[in-house]
């Protein structure tokens, strides 16, 4: 019986042929001519691959456009290179290789940062001692200082002091070309003072400056009966004065008022106006309102001469710092100026 549906046609063979046609189809251009499915770029890549093999694929990178370098850039680079070359030459000629310590040719100078802790330790030991005789190994003066320490211990016994606060280490200049180390401190009683050290190692404490040492008691300097008999060295504050007494008149003598940090007493001493000593003192004291710390050679009052007073024999130092390391010494001409 015939069916109402149309008879189905086999599709496999025809579909297979259509797929083959599509697979082998070559497109046409606008003129109806066949166009290759392989572009020029694909053809070139295929040829390169055939030539090099599949193990070594070509790496085609985009080319870079290199512009021209301007003359100004070349000039700047050249100047920079020249400056760098000059700098290298300067460094090469100025650089010195450090010499090793122990060759005997180079003095090794330590910095303040290395010296300061050592000096603070010496200050603490110096102030903590209960007797002046116990600080002989810390102070300047050599073998002679022990006798002075013993004398001063009898005159002014030492007391132990504890440091509360240190001030930074400083370097001070004296007499133009000489220098000293100085450390300031505050003690438990809030007393502020300075201690001076010699610039050479092992940096001894200048004890005479610290105590304003004199060869005799300052208070007895003006006494013809109880005072010292011989000329000695005294560290005093000095100031030009206008008072004249006894055998001393203003025309022939200049009055100098003396004071000392350990005494409230003031003593008048005299110097000949036309003497070399007066010429040394004049620029230091003339028309100056305040006092000046000086190291003076003073002859005490002469008990054999009525109404005599101490007389200044020489100026030894300015600022209580003496030349040399072994006791009082007279300054040379260059140091006195």
CA distance 102 to 73: 53
Q: Do the beta carbons of residue 178 and residue 196 sit within 8 Å?
A: no
Characterize the bridge pairing of strands 178-187 and 163-166: antiparallel
CB 224 within 8 A of CB 206: no
Tell me the average pLDDT across 126-133.
95
Predicted confidence band of residue 204 (pLDDT cuts 50, 70, 90): very high
310 vs 268: CA distance, rounded Å: 7
| Structural domain spans, the chain | 112-210, 232-336
- pLDDT class of 76 with cuts at 50, 70, 90: confident
How confident is the model over 96-105, as a mean pLDDT?
39
Give per-residue pLDDT as tens, 266-324.
999 999 998 999 999 998 898 888 899 999 999 988 888 888 889 999 998 888 876 43
Pairing of strands 253-259, 178-187: unpaired
296 phi, psi to nearest 5 deg: -120, 145
Which among 267, 257, 262 is positioned nearest to 223, based on CA atoms? 267
Q: Give the percent of the chain with pLDDT over 70.
A: 68
- Taking the C-alpha atoms of residue 126 and residue 135, their distance in angstroms, rounded to an integer, is 6
3-class SS shares of the chain: helix, strand, coil, % to 5: 30, 20, 50
| Cα–Cα distance, 148 to 128 (Å, whole number) | 19
Q: What is the pLDDT of residue 127?
A: 96
- In this structure, the chain runs to a length of 337
3: pLDDT strictly greater than 80 = no
The rounded distance, in Å, linking the Cα atoms of 67 and 77 is 17
Mean pLDDT, residues 195-207 taken together? 92
Who wins on pLDDT, 189 or 306? 189
2-16, 75-89, 180-194: least confident range: 2-16
Is 286 within 8 Å of 240 (Cβ atoms)? Answer: yes
Q: Which of 201, 105, 123 is nearest to 165 (CA)?
A: 123
Q: Where does 195-314 have alpha helices with state H? A: 207-211, 276-285
pLDDT band at 27 (very low <50, low <70, confident <90, very high): low
Maximum C-alpha span of the chain: 182
Token pair 């005159």 is at which residue? 155
Question: Which pLDDT value is given to residue 164?
Answer: 94
Q: Is the pTM of this model over 0.75?
A: no
**Of 24-33, 66-75, 212-221, where does the model show the most confidence?**
212-221
| Least-confidence region, from 74-83, 89-98, 122-131, 212-221 | 89-98
| Per-residue confidence (pLDDT) for residue 46, from 0 to 100 | 61
If you write DSSP's letter for every residue of 34-66 in order, what string do you get?
B--SS-HHHHHHHHHHHHH-TTS----PPPP-P
Q: Give the highest mean pLDDT range of 46-60, 216-230, 238-252.
A: 238-252
């Amino acid at each position: 019986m015939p069916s109402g549906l149309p008879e189905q046609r086999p599709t496999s063979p025809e579909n297979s042929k259509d797929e083959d046609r599509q697979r082998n189809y070559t497109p046409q251009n606008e003129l109806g001519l066949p166009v290759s499915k392989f572009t020029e770029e694909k053809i070139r890549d295929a040829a390169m691959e055939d030539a090099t093999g599949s193990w070594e694929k070509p790496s085609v990178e985009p080319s870079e456009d290199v512009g021209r370098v301007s003359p100004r850039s070349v000039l700047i680079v050249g100047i920079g290179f020249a400056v760098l070359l000059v700098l290298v030459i300067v460094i090469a000629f100025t650089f010195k290789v450090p010499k090793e310590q122990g060759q005997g040719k180079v003095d090794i100078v330590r910095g303040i940062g290395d010296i300061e802790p050592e000096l603070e330790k010496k200050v603490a030991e110096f102030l903590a001692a209960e007797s002046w005789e116990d600080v002989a190994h810390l102070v300047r003066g050599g073998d002679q200082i022990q006798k002075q320490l013993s004398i001063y211990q009898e005159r002014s016994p030492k007391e132990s002091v504890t440091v509360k606060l240190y001030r930074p280490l400083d370097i001070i200049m004296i007499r133009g070309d000489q220098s000293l180390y100085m450390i300031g401190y505050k003690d438990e009683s809030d007393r502020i003072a300075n201690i001076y050290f010699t610039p050479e190692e092992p940096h001894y404490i200048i004890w005479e400056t610290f105590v304003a040492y004199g060869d005799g008691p300052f208070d007895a300097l003006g006494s013809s009966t109880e005072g010292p008999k011989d000329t000695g060295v005294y560290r005093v504050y000095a100031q030009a004065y206008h008072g004249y007494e006894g055998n001393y008149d203003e025309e022939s003598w200049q009055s100098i008022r003396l004071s000392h940090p350990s005494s409230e007493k003031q003593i008048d001493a005299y110097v000949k106006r036309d003497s070399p000593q007066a010429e040394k003192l004049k620029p230091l004291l003339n028309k100056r309102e305040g006092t000046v710390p000086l190291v003076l050679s003073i002859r005490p009052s002469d008990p054999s001469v009525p109404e005599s007073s101490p007389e200044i024999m020489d100026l030894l130092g300015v600022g209580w710092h003496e030349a040399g390391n072994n006791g009082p010494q007279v300054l040379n001409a260059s140091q006195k100026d």
